[in-house]
A = this chain, B = another copy of it.
């Protein structure tokens, strides 16, 4: 049973605060282990990566087999059913079309003082993408990470994906091929992150690392942050559905379960202004949980972290949503656009009853790598901006320097930075001799 909350209840604030604060993930203290792994890879390079892969993934590699060869990739993708290939290609096309629009413009202008100012965007030269192996090895995530990088103009895009016991999902390799990935290494864990960040004899270092991973991967990303850029530290997935009574309870139940089936730590919540509708959805969930393939995972998530919250009206729903700052927000109400205006903190908003969140996971176009654990308060989903950086540009004419230089000199003096001031003054003196 999920929790049932009602904003009119006396203990609502306490219960809701506990729900918000619930710790959904064990965070084993892997930091010391990860520090050792990174140090080992920095010192011993390929050899460390090879030994750690034998240990953790039961896979014996040599420097020349760290990467998949073109022949191996071709052989694997040849196994993929045409319908799966077509689906990945359509998804890739739609994701590309969306992300192309994110390319930000350069700007350059001259202000009234004669100063030319602006900025210029450029791509990171090399990026690395972590793809989990095993249960959570999703080809859609390869597309979602790799396509923005290639749209941004990243020249060299490398994937690391563990292949425990040598097993790899051919769809992951196909998705990488469709997205234009340049190198694919069959390694994972903290050792893969260390190899991407610091390089080995075989693997050249990258400038930016993105992609989800387990606690070891997350700890390693946090540690190499600064040496390279990283995207975010992702947590378990979440959905919040705000639905009025004019919805099919089974559709909403399936939307909730489509998050819950990801992970027993995932969280699915419903906010509704009709308590009766909330009960119908909960009943529909129970019915679906009788037959769903992943009912153990989805059931545990729903039981431990699920919630049905009844509110007085949709304004109250928006206010609660802003406190939750959900990764995915579905608005199944008569006027979703109006409600979206009130929802300030969400990774992605899905509007109306014909936009199940699963559309966004695959083919909508927007990225499915989104901020979790309330971080939509301050961060955004993955985009081309994650693979770009901005250089600011300035050029002063003598007139511009005459106009604003004395102010710079004054401020430098007030900060006791004499050379700053003199670097301006020397030029002004020459100009005004």
List residues of chain A with CB under 8 Å of any chain B CB: 83-84, 86-88, 90-91, 94, 97-98, 101-102, 104, 107, 109, 111, 115-117, 119-120, 122, 124-125, 138-140, 171, 207-208, 222, 225-226, 228-229, 233, 248, 250-251, 254-255, 257-258, 260-262, 288, 292-294, 298, 336-337, 340, 343-367, 370-371, 373, 375-381, 383, 385, 389-398, 400-401, 404-405, 407-408, 410-412, 414-424, 426-427, 430-431
Q: Which chain B residues lie closer than 8 Å to A355 at the CB level? A: 394-396, 401
| CB–CB A261/B125 < 8 A | no
CB nearest to A255 among chain B residues:
B423
- Do B412 and A250 touch across chains, with their CB atoms under 8 A apart? no
A385: chain B residues within 8 A (beta carbon): 385
A/B interface sample: 30 pairs, CB < 8 A: A90-B404, A102-B119, A115-B364, A115-B365, A117-B366, A124-B377, A207-B377, A228-B378, A251-B423, A251-B426, A257-B422, A258-B423, A260-B419, A261-B419, A288-B419, A288-B422, A294-B418, A348-B391, A353-B427, A354-B396, A354-B398, A355-B401, A356-B427, A358-B408, A358-B412, A359-B401, A359-B424, A367-B392, A370-B392, A381-B390
How many Å lie between the Cα of A380 and that of B383 in the bound state?
A: 15
**C-alpha spacing A417/B297, complex, angstroms:** 11
A115 proximity list for chain B (CB < 8 A): 364-365
B417 and A349 contact, CB distance less than 8 A: no
Copies assembled: 2
Cα-based distance from A294 to B418 in the complex (angstroms):
8
Alpha-carbon distance A109/B404, docked complex (angstroms):
43
Q: Assess the B392–A366 pair: CB atoms within 8 A.
A: yes
B251 touching A360 by the CB < 8 A rule?
Answer: no
Given contacts A258-B423, A366-B392, A404-B94, contact A171 B414 (CB under 8 A): yes
